[in-house]
A = this chain, B = another copy of it.
Amino acid sequence: MKPAVVLLSGGLDSATVLAIARSEGYACHALSLDYGQRHTAELAAAARVAQALGAAAHRVMRLGLGDIGGSALTDDSIAVPEAPTEGIPVTYVPARNTVMLALALAWAEVLGARDIFIGVNAVDYSGYPDCRPEFIEAFERMANLATRAGVEGAALKIHAPLQYLSKADIIRRGVELGVDYGLTVSCYQADPAGRACGVCDACRLRRAGFIAAGVADPTPYR
């Protein structure tokens, strides 16, 4: 089996991506980032999901992104909004997908993997600039100039299989592939047991997705 690096946050989207990568025959090396999140419930979820979906390996890399502040997700002095907001939300982590893809690229290079999977989505992208297709294309182009693989002529590919799917489509695809969404945590402020608040942006998008997909919502709410 060809190795691939799969970015795995512990949420709904990246769990679906892991299931898709496995279904395409990759030996999946799941990478989670501990960047000073408010809670560790999503990292616990990532470990459960990696095991349930048969990842070949799972690593959690620590990164002191909280030191530079600037996001409600890494900085306790900024509150998570509980109602819809305009523009780029404060839950945006600065350059998050750039940082995560850079670290995935590093691991891919060590493994000799030429495939990286990420769960970005252009439909429900919530105003994050680094979820757009043109960003993913530009990252892939850069990655091919950055690494041994590129120098030696072996093309690196950034796979974003959720790119054009709605949240409902993502959920339907995951259910087909046997993803147990009860294991995942999407909430920006889940409690230590992984129970969701039900009111943050991530919870609202997720709940609406289950309703639109006609799938019972297995999320534990508090």
* Interface positions of A (Cβ within 8 A of B): 59, 61-65, 67-70, 88, 92-99, 101-103, 105-107, 109-110, 129-130, 132, 134-135, 138-139, 141-143, 145-148, 150-151
Whether the pair B88, A95 counts as a contact (CB closer than 8 A) is no
Whether the pair A95, B105 counts as a contact (CB closer than 8 A) is yes
Q: Give the copy number.
A: 2
CA distance A27 to B105 in the complex (A): 31
Q: What are 27 A-B residue pairs whose CB atoms fall within 8 Å in the complex? A: A61-B63, A61-B65, A61-B68, A62-B63, A63-B63, A63-B64, A65-B106, A69-B110, A70-B106, A88-B151, A92-B148, A94-B107, A94-B109, A94-B147, A95-B105, A95-B109, A95-B143, A96-B106, A97-B146, A98-B142, A99-B99, A99-B105, A101-B102, A130-B146, A130-B147, A138-B142, A138-B145
Whether the pair B106, A68 counts as a contact (CB closer than 8 A) is yes
CB distance from A132 to the nearest CB of B (A): 7
Whether the pair A110, B146 counts as a contact (CB closer than 8 A) is no
A97 CB contacts on chain B under 8 angstroms = 146
CB distance from A57 to the nearest CB of B (A): 10
CA distance A15 to B155 in the complex (A): 35
CB distance from A147 to the nearest CB of B (A): 6
A63 CB contacts on chain B under 8 angstroms = 61-64, 103
CA distance A65 to B92 in the complex (A): 24
A148 CB contacts on chain B under 8 angstroms = 88, 92, 129
A88 CB contacts on chain B under 8 angstroms = 148, 151
